[in-house]
Amino acid sequence: MAAKAETFEMDMLDGPTVAQVALRSASFRMATHKAGDDDQSGERQRKNEKKKGDDGGWPKGVYRGRTLSRADSYQAATDEPNLFLNPELDSPSKKRPFAYDNDSDEESVFLDAEEQRRAALRRPKRVRKPRHGTTKSKSGKRLEGLKKEIEVDFHTVELGVLVDRFQTDVVRGMDAAAARERLEQDGPNALTPPKVTPQWVKFLNAQFGDGFSLLLWLGAVLCFIAYTIQEVVAEEDEPPERDNLYLGSVLAGVVIITGFFSYFQESKSSKIMDSFKKMVPPTAMVIRSGKTVPIPAADLVVGDIVQVKFGDRIPGDIRILESSGLKVDNSSLTGESEPQSRIPDCTHTNPLETKNLAFFSTNALEGTAKGMIVQVGDLTVVGRIANLASGVDSGPTPISIEIAHFIHLISAVAIFLGVTFFIIAIALGYKWLDAVIFLIGIIVANVPEGLLATVTVCLTLTAKRMAAKQCLVRNLEAVETLGSTSCICSDKTGTLTQNRMTVAHMFYDMKLYEADTTEDQSQNTPDKASPTWWALAHVAGLCNRATFGEDQESDPILSRVCNGDASESALLKCIELSWGKVDVLRESNPKVVEIPFNSANKYQVSVHDQKTNPSYLLVMKGAPERIMDRCSKVMVRGKEEAMTPEIRAECDQACETLGGLGERVLGFCHLFLDPEKYPHGFNFDTDNVNFPMEDLCFVGLMSMVDPPRDAVPDAVKKCRTAGIKVIMVTGDYPVTAAAIARQVGIISEGSKTVEDIAKQENIPVASVNPKRARAAIIHGSSLRDMPEDKLDRILKTHAEIVFARTSPQQKLLIVEGCQRLGHVVAVTGDGVNDSPALKRADIGVAMGIAGSDVSKQAADMILMDDNFASIVTGVEEGRIIFDNLKKSIAYTLTSNIPEISPFLIFIIVSIPLPLGTITILFIDLGTDMVPAISLAYEQAESDIMMRKPRDSKKDRLVNQRLISLAYGQIGMIQAAAGFFTYFVIMAENGFLPNRLVGLRESWDDRDNQWVEDSYGQQWTYLTRKKLEYTCHTAFFVSIVVVQWADLIISKTRRNSLFQQGMRNHMLTFGLFFETALACIFSYTPGLGTGLRTYPLRGTWWVAAMPFSLAIFLYDEWRKWMLRRQPPGGFFERETYY
């Protein structure tokens, strides 16, 4: 409940307020009385105030157009930010409530009312500093303030109080000069743009801000360092090998290219405030100095008297002074799909619920009104939402956390191996400089050069696939986030429902019928043979201001665009479907006079001239209780009968039943006017009503609802099966929200709330243990002052929850509550009110059709068909890509062992180098890239949507089991294949394995031209190197051969290849691609000089094939044991990654 702000009188600062402020109040009062007794002294002080730059213009106790409360006085004294004001007011250019005397250490005092007004606007020069460690940062405090509920008194205080407060006149408006002065003081009626990150900072962040990029940069720098060391120590006639230079350049090139890609992706990021600016109206009609003039909306100030009419956008938060049937569209702020009437009277203490406030940027749908501007710019409701949306952040995505974890693992392995072999090299007698080169080489060899590009391309491919399924991804990392989702906070209107009011039920002839909404009327549900039905159709068609848009005759009736509010449009479509041409009905019964619907009467009445009948027909619709109160008769089977208490009770019961279904119920009645009393041409008067409004004949009821989308119940069921909690968060009323929740399965059949249990057992609600209730329906009003621990308890206790009548701040708090419980939260929304929650969620999902620009800019993903079922498709795609990324990484990391082990054996055993740097690059950036990416096309294994959401603490993208399988099992077999091929080629050329041990120093000596093999043959340096490079090529080819099997086994983590099949044609292409690339590198003439690759004999390809077969058979056996054992068995614990 909004607390009524109190006028800033010093004698109110007693009791629980700050003691020091209370003590000061006495001196304030004394100075005030003294100044009041001495007019000259007061005048002097006022002149001094003007010299100090105070521009005045506000009444006593008002700060930026708002009465200061006790809370404000405390915040002013302690330099805390005011929760209800513009968060940007902490800047030095803004005003503060207290002023201090420049000439003394004592605070300046309030003098008279004018001085109090001025002093309330001045910034203090000395403020009491908070104790260290007790406060948050300024931005943090700002956000915490914005998360608080709006507490203002503009709607509750008397109009005269507002007039005095803002020094305005409801008839003549503000004085033009005073308005200009206030505009200079407060600034324009516009939203303050947030700080913009410079493009060069974004570019540098794309190049260096990612952990993966830093790892590659580190590798590149180490390569350049190693090459520099080699260059420095090399002899003049022996230039160093340039392998490290090439490798460093390639690493730098990879990270620069992917950085550019990330930068351009980021350049499309959200521009939320720009979307909010589009909502600001360009001009407004304002009364200034007694004249009504159009001015730019940005020039409006608090206290201005403005006029609005249908079609206008409200130019600020206004207090309604006069209204003539004004209705506004608050759906963007509150989620209410129905137009809301605005009247001068306060109807609720909550400013968002009351009917005498209209809010900045909402649209006036019909009627006219005059109002007083009470808030402008950032202080408006929309301004607070805009600042909240631009200030919150969802933090790192799950995939970025996983990649960071992966980098930590790889770095740990690389550093461990590097340091270990540095120590071994020193122990073996190597020079420390050589040992440093070895250390750098081992660390760089562990860097997966192609993996960053692989992950980016895999996410991009999945994003394209999701776009084909109506899910447009704005942030690549959001692709996987949706798959990690464990909780979905969904809006109701337009997401779970069709965002189209439809007639659902009819009640006439004392029977309840389900409406037939099919185009061909094939259901034939209502009894159309009854005369009462025709009477009901006449009233619904005639007492209706909605019309169809032009040039839509060929379109399906339910798809046509209507001019009019949602309820009347639903009635129009229903009658058009079931009765026929409504325009023909209206032409034959032209409207003579009408009393429009208003919130006071809650009915609409019109009189029609029946061309086929001498009597006029009066038709009325409205709230059922108001309609039945005016009826003394009821039509049953075409005959009028007396409205007895029994019939009235039966009608009330039908109304209650329909209302319990969450449907909006309207009553209908009519009366044929006596032609003698009301002859043709009678002058009907709607101001002084001169026709009957009582003793009417009740015809029936019609109820409307925004029906659920057909695919939603199945989608919710899939979410439950997948272990995803679905919470409805809506601005609609609890009854309607609960009814839709039960229809779509968010509240499952048989689930009971605390209220249901209390009613069933006839006990107080407070006596029911909340843990007994599976479901809960929480009203937004109960969230206003709810502590975090209680909200967390609700979210944890109840499996099925509906939050109704929630504000934007409450939606944000609900999301944060779910995140505190460890959920990965997806939020759907389409309105401005959803933008803070969309931004804060782990993944925000906006609606492509009905969604506002603001919600789309705040979201990570957009549903192009506005269908909740598309989210489930996205969840499945997200889970698939996470699994497939695991497979791609496992495939890529496996080749690290055959790449690193030659270098390690080269150091320890001192044999000629089996694999060179250039050929390592061929693998990482050549043959492995397309196969790794092809795994992104792999179909889901059978259990993808049957398992629970992944536990972010246990189910990591890269875990110890994956490292163990890739490095310790498959990688070892691949390394064995490479060394076998290496030793075969060396043996065929005369170097048996025992001769190779310890040969490295002589082998690499340029001056040694007579190295002998096992058979006594002498080899020159050039012939030795040609043989070495041939071994490099063969080792490279052997890795390609064993990677065939590795790619095939990476298709699944649990299923057999024979279960999964070879339906991934991109993977098949990948197999052929890497083989063709290996052939090109091996057999293309001229590459031997530049890339040091040499042609191989066909038999050398065969050497690695038995190892490839061994990999396939081993993994098939492992997966068979995995499926055979119960969950949690040895093979799952040790090998299931």
Residue 669 contacts residue 627 (beta carbons within 8 Å): yes
Active-site pick, 304, 491, 732, 1046: 491
Tell me how far the alpha carbon of residue 433 is from its chain's centroid. Answer: 53
Angle at 755 between CA 754 and CA 761, to 5 degrees: 90
From CA 148, how far away is CA 785, in angstroms rounded?
9
DSSP helix/strand/coil, 730 = coil
* Ordered alpha helix ranges (H), 468-578: 478-484, 531-542, 566-578
Looking up tokens 């009188």 gives: 9
SS3 471: strand
Backbone angles phi, psi at 668, to 5 degrees: -135, 140
Q: What angle do CA 762, 767, 772 make, to 5 degrees?
A: 90
- 930 touches 457 (CB < 8 A): no
- Tokens representing 227 are 């090459």
Q: What is the DSSP letter of 549?
A: P
882: nearest Cα among 349, 458, 542: 458
* Nearest residue to 662 via CA among 734, 567, 583: 734
* C-alpha distances in Å from residue 620, one per residue of 538, 595, 612, 692, 702: 11, 9, 20, 11, 13
- CA-based nearest residue to 417, from 909, 1036, 903: 903
Question: Is 491 one of the catalytic residues?
Answer: yes
The Cα–Cα gap between 326 and 1067 comes to: 63
Other C-beta atoms lying within 10 Å of the C-beta of residue 259:
22
Q: What is the strand order of the sheet 725-729 is part of? A: 471-473, 861-863, 843-847, 825-829, 487-490, 725-729, 800-804, 775-779
Helices (runs of H) and strands (runs of E) counted in the chain: 44, 28
Distance CA 481, CA 639 (A): 63
Q: Could you tell me if 118 and 49 are in contact, meaning their C-beta atoms sit under 8 angstroms apart?
A: yes
Which two tokens mark 394?
Answer: 């969802």
C-alpha–C-alpha distance, residues 199 and 961, integer Å? 41
**DSSP tag of 937:** G
Residue 482, helix vs strand vs coil = helix
Q: Give the other-Cβ count within 10 Å of 637's Cβ.
A: 13
C-alpha–C-alpha distance, residues 503 and 515, integer Å: 6
The residues assigned a catalytic role are 491
